[in-house]
Amino acid sequence: MKKFQPQSGFVVQAFRFALDPNASQERALRSHCGAARAAYNWAVGWVTASWWQRKAEETYGVAEAEQTQWRPWSLPSLRKAFNAAKHTDPRFAGWWEENSKEAYSTGLANASAAFDNYAKSKNGKRKGARMGPPRFKSKRKARMSCRFTTGTIRVDADGRHVTLPRLGTLRTHEPTDKLLTRVQAGTARILSATVRHERGRWFASFQVEVKRDHERVTRPDTAVGIDLGVKTLAVMADSTGEIRTVPNPCHYDQALKQMRRASRTVSRRQGPDRRTGRKPSKRWEKANAARNKVHHRAANLRADALHKLTTAVTAEYGTVVVEDLNVAGMLKNRRLARRIADAGFGEIRRQLDYKTRQRHATRMIVADRWYPSSKTCSGCGAVKAKLPLHIRTYECDACGLVIDRDDNAALNLAALAAACTTGTGVAGDQDTPVVSKPRGADRKTRATRTRRKTSAGRAGGATLPHHRQTETRDRPQAKALTLW
């Protein structure tokens, strides 16, 4: 085996393999994941205990200088405190030596990261929704996971086994040749390994620093616009005018009949009851496992289809243009939520993002959320003020173009790549005239709302009370696109 020589062109990549552990190995895996969860809960309780103590001392009138000191949550501090407490704490006494130290380090590192995220969010240094303080992980709901960063971590030479600290040699469900050949050639170095129980199976993920040369795409000078939908998963139109349609496989809908039948079987069994402490029967556990198997199969089929789609797109085109969809808001529509979740819009964009950057070094353009790709005519550039969702054919009032709604949106997205590069292009021109601006239009049309009047006001000039009038204001102009 050649010695690993770090050099330029190396990236950090994950290789995941399904495991086939025996009964004793599965007990060891569950023990390590349980130890990580117990260490996490201990760290959360140890840090927050000082918070509650200081809050109690404030009610007693204790001066701030004399109050209990804040307990630090950095990883070295948590490790030092945990090593001192694990010998006497009844929660760990008698069994903590059964697992690797990496299991406890995993829980402490997760707790430290959780407190850091909470502090940054509270101070306004972290984007996104406001985060609350870390909470205890439930044994019933927490995902079983454990990370190994030191010790014996390798892929065995036979290509069907992996070796992890304290867990020993585990058989893999699939060959490990993709990683093994790189390690033997000296073009990859294993940094860490994570075992996780997901979708009814155990997986081992290796974080590897690997040499990856950018692959040349088939059509580097061609841009493609991708319009995602429910009826058809994607409509792709390139800069040459060619349009392709990818049908929606609807994996969840195809498995819905089996899921309903399995759910009825589960409902007839004696399940768990947390209020009375009743444990589930063996028949309920067997039926629940059968139902979960149907869910897992649908999820696996969906992941496989999305990977094949994004891999084919990024390997062919030099520029990929997608929309910045508000997926969270779309899921609030109870009529479309199931189909939108089954399509996986967010996962498609995530895969296109990292595959264009890391594998092919191509460009990905994300159109602004308010860019009217469906309302803009791909022929003349005129913009409609209103285009309801049930209208599936676009008819331009200016040039008379009649085209499918999704095809029109994909052509506009493809033209947006040229607008980003040269500043021209019909669809990317932000100064194109708007056909009409009726009341209630979107941000692109910059509609102006007027004051509402009663019937008496129309006759005699009287208007509604001031607090019921709608003031006249223009909505801000949206950005055209965002480069990634």
Rounded Cα gap, residues 301 and 449, in angstroms = 48
Same domain, 406 and 363: yes
Of 162, 188, 211, which one is at a domain's C-terminal end?
211
Query: Looking at the structure, do residues 170 and 271 belong to the same domain, yes or no?
Result: no
Q: Give domain status of residue 378, yes or no.
A: yes
**Closest by Cα among 288, 284, 267 to 200:** 288
pLDDT reported for residue 6: 42
Q: What angle do CA 97, 101, 103 make, to 5 degrees?
A: 100
Q: What DSSP element (H or E) covers 42? A: helix 23-59
User: Residue 412: which of 445, 380, 444, 369 has the closest Cα?
Assistant: 380
Instruction: Indicate if 382 and 417 belong to the same structural domain.
Output: yes
The confidence score (pLDDT) of residue 2 equals 53
Residue 421: band (very low, low, confident or very high) from pLDDT cuts 50, 70, 90: low
- 427-440 per-position pLDDT tens digit: 444 443 333 333 34
- Cα distance between residue 239 and residue 361, in whole Å: 19
Span of 138-152, 158-172, 241-255, 458-472 with lowest mean pLDDT:
458-472
Is 368 catalytic? The answer is: no
Contact 215/360 with Cβ under 8 angstroms? Answer: yes
Domain boundary among 166, 187, 211: 211
- Smallest CA-to-CA distance from 382 within 427, 446, 438 is with 427
269 shares a domain with 185: no
Q: Are residues 395 and 265 in the same domain?
A: yes
**Tokens read off for 218:** 């088939």
Give the pLDDT of residue 427: 42
Exactly one of 238, 316, 342, 406 is catalytic; which is it? 406
| The predicted structure's pLDDT at residue 9 | 75
Least confident range from 168-182, 277-291, 446-460: namely 446-460
Give the span between the Cα atoms of 194 and 146, in whole angstroms.
6
CB atoms within 10 A of CB 246: 17
Catalytic: which of 323, 342, 368, 407? 323
The yes-or-no verdict on residue 377 having pLDDT over 60 is: yes
* 204 and 173 co-located in one domain: yes
Query: Is residue 405 situated within a structural domain?
Result: yes
Are 19 and 36 part of one and the same domain? no
**How close are the terminal C-alpha atoms of the chain, in Å?**
39
In a domain, 35, yes or no: yes
Q: What is the structure's pLDDT at 106?
A: 96
Catalytic residue among 227, 342, 368, 407: 227
Residues 105 and 156 in one domain: no
1 confidence band (pLDDT: 50, 70, 90)? low
- 43 with 14, same domain: the answer is no
Is residue 424's pLDDT more than 80?
no
pLDDT the model gives residue 65: 87
Residue 358 pLDDT class (50, 70, 90 cuts): confident
pLDDT tops 70 at residue 386: yes
Lowest mean pLDDT among 4-13, 79-88, 131-140: 4-13
| Total domains, the chain | 3
For 42-58, what is each residue's pLDDT tens digit? 999 999 999 999 999 98
Q: Has residue 460 been placed in a domain?
A: no
Q: Report if residue 2 sits inside a domain.
A: no
Q: By percentage, how much of the chain surpasses pLDDT 90?
A: 65
Report strand pairing: 219-228 vs 161-164: unpaired
Residue 111 vs residue 381, higher pLDDT? 111
Residue pair 110/145 in contact by the 8 Å Cβ criterion: no
Residues 263 and 356 in one domain: yes
pLDDT at 266: 96
Least confident of 2-16, 59-73, 187-201, 390-404: 2-16
Question: Residue 247 forms beta bridges with which residues?
Answer: 232
Residue 16 lies in a domain: yes
Give the structural domain span for 96.
31-122
Q: Choose the final residue of a domain: 211, 232, 266.
A: 211
pLDDT value, residue 400? 87
pLDDT exceeds 80 at position 4: no
- pLDDT of residue 289 exceeding 50: yes
Residue range 326-337: average pLDDT? Answer: 90
Q: How many CA atoms lie within 13 A of 25 on its CB side?
A: 17
Q: Do 18 and 108 reside in the same domain of the chain?
A: no
To the query of whether residue 227 is one of the catalytic residues in this protein, the response is: yes
Residue 268 lies in a domain: yes
My answer on whether 320 and 447 are in the same domain is yes
Quick check: 443 pLDDT over 90?
no
Q: What's the sign of the alpha-carbon dihedral 309, 311, 314, 317? A: negative
In this prediction, residues 77-106 reach a mean pLDDT of: 91
CB 400 within 8 A of CB 384: no
At 444, list the tokens.
Answer: 């692109």
Q: What is the mean pLDDT of the chain?
A: 85
Contact 103, 149 (CB under 8 A): no
Task: Note the pLDDT tens digit of each residue in 256-266.
Answer: 999 999 999 99
Is residue 55 assigned to a domain? yes
Confidence of residue 423 (pLDDT cuts 50, 70, 90): very low
Q: Mark whether 273 is an active-site residue.
A: no
